[in-house]
Structure 1
Amino acid sequence: MDKVVVSVADDSAANLPAVVSALRDAGMVVEQVLEGLGVVTGSVAPGVGDLLGAVPGVAHVEVDRTVRLPPDGS
């Protein structure tokens, strides 16, 4: 699962519960809703995070991508 941070558009802040519901319908497992900030955190299946931007009321989606370096000496 990919970790995601979703920013809710300012004009949709009053409809935050509806946006959260739409995110769940789109496949997001919601972990936290930070109402005062208009931010929702959670996780999605790989490749789904970028699709959350099409959810009405979503301003921005940040997908946490893990980068690993090879061990020293390899």
Structure 2
Amino acid sequence: MENESNKWMKDTGAKGLKIRLHNNVYGTLIAIFRNDTKKICVCEVDNTYTFNEAEINSTDWKLATYIPVEILKNL
């Protein structure tokens, strides 16, 4: 994953929307970060932030297995 952190683009256009995550859990969208192959969304669920990931053309969200430092720096 060489230089993968440089590829993440932040999209806040949908900020505030409710989205369905995993297991019928809904969250309020804070931001979505995208690269060439996947996206990571930051959502507020029950007063906590969750990080969820999906393939770039999918809405099948699952809990993120890792969060790149570049995403954390750009929240």
Structure with a larger share of its residues in helix: 1
**Rg (Cα) greater in structure:** 1
Compare the two structures and name the one with the higher strand fraction.
Answer: 2
Q: Normalization by structure 2: what TM-score? A: 0.29
Greater relative CO (CA pairs within 8 A, separation 6+): 1
